[in-house]
Amino acid sequence: MKIRFLQKLIDKLRGKPYAIGDLVRRYEYATRIKDFKTIALGSSHMGCAYRPAPAPEGEAQDLNFGFPYQDLYYSYHFYKFLNSNSTKRVLLSFSVFSPGDVTIKSKSDGICVLYKLIYGIPYQFDNIAEEKKLKQLEKPLLKKIEKYKRKLKNSQNYIYDKPRDAKILDKSPKAIENIKIRAGKHLKINHRPTQMEYLHKLLEATKANSQEFYIILSPVTSFYKSALPPSDVIYAELYKIIDNDKYPNAKIINFYDSEDFTDDDFMDGDHLNSQGAKKFTELLNHLKTDAPFK
């Protein structure tokens, strides 16, 4: 029985950009470096897009800790894991689906086991973990995790980021239709804002720690946008929450409507390619020099 469930998880994670080894490497990197000036969080929209340059010797690093299957619940817990006295800035990618995206309820639920075993993050819904029999995967997966940790014990190669795809968006009629279908699915998730409490927790934590908090509306293609209402409708609740009087440290950066990105900056309907990632990173680097909170 356990073998069947383990195989189910392996099948889910095979071919994904961040599986067991990648998550262990990220853990080792974060625990050995410890102090980060900038922490970037969020789903694959952040993972694909942000490419911080190495900091000068003696200065705290900027870290991209965004990767697939990271909902707001996990973004908050990764913030707690990574935060230090050196942290001055937190970046969070916020997508159409972010308000209601719940990893443990999704088809990618297996990664929640890894988040628990590697990072100590409890299941968001223990009853769902029981129903999906995720706990039966813990013992065999723990052995695999320990094996990866032993391999990295004397290694300096802690973290691996898959190179961004340079391909340009497929604009065939079928591909465009699929993009619009995907956008519609994301909008349905947007309509059930079960995760927004964790955005509130991030806002309160960064405020208490006197940290700049940028909430970045992820850029998308024109085809994706054409299937959805205007951004002020999609993100109405978010804009309502970010009250400058209550959270003077927080600012929304609207890349969703930005004219800086074109459809050729994407490899699919809502993920940037290498060209788009360069723009994304340069824009964020520019924000850091503007001192918008002074």
According to the model, what pLDDT value does residue 58 have? 80
CATH code assigned at 141: 3.40.50.1110
What's this model's pTM, rounded to 2 decimal places? 0.91
Establish if 294 belongs to a structural domain.
Answer: no
Establish if 68 belongs to a structural domain.
Answer: yes
Asked whether 249 and 213 are in contact (CB, 8 A), the reply is yes
Establish if 159 belongs to a structural domain.
Answer: yes
According to the model, what pLDDT value does residue 111 have? 93
Establish if 94 belongs to a structural domain.
Answer: yes
The total number of structural domains in the chain stands at: 1
> One digit per residue, pLDDT tens: the chain, 294 residues?
555 555 555 555 443 444 788 899 899 989 988 899 999 999 999 998 999 988 888 888 999 999 889 999 999 999 999 999 999 999 999 999 999 999 999 988 989 999 999 999 999 999 999 999 999 999 989 999 998 888 887 776 666 566 567 788 999 999 999 999 999 999 999 999 899 999 999 999 999 999 999 999 999 999 999 999 999 999 999 999 997 789 999 999 999 999 999 999 999 999 999 999 999 999 998 875 444 443
According to the model, what pLDDT value does residue 171 have? 96
Which positions ≥6 away from 216 have C-beta within 8 Å? Answer: 42, 46, 91, 92, 93, 94, 252, 253, 255, 284
Q: Beginning with the edge strand found earlier in the chain, give each strand of the sheet holding 89-94 in spatial order.
A: 61-64, 36-41, 89-94, 212-217, 250-254
Q: Which residue has the tokens 């195989």?
A: 7
Structure tokens given for 149: 């940790």
Establish if 69 belongs to a structural domain.
Answer: yes
Establish if 223 belongs to a structural domain.
Answer: yes
According to the model, what pLDDT value does residue 166 have? 79
Domain span holding position 188: 2-289
Q: Give the integer Cα–Cα distance in Å for 94 and 144.
A: 32
**Where does residue 207 rank: exposed (0-12), middle (13-18), buried (19+ CB within 10 A)?**
middle
Q: Give the integer Cα–Cα distance in Å for 74 and 70.
A: 6
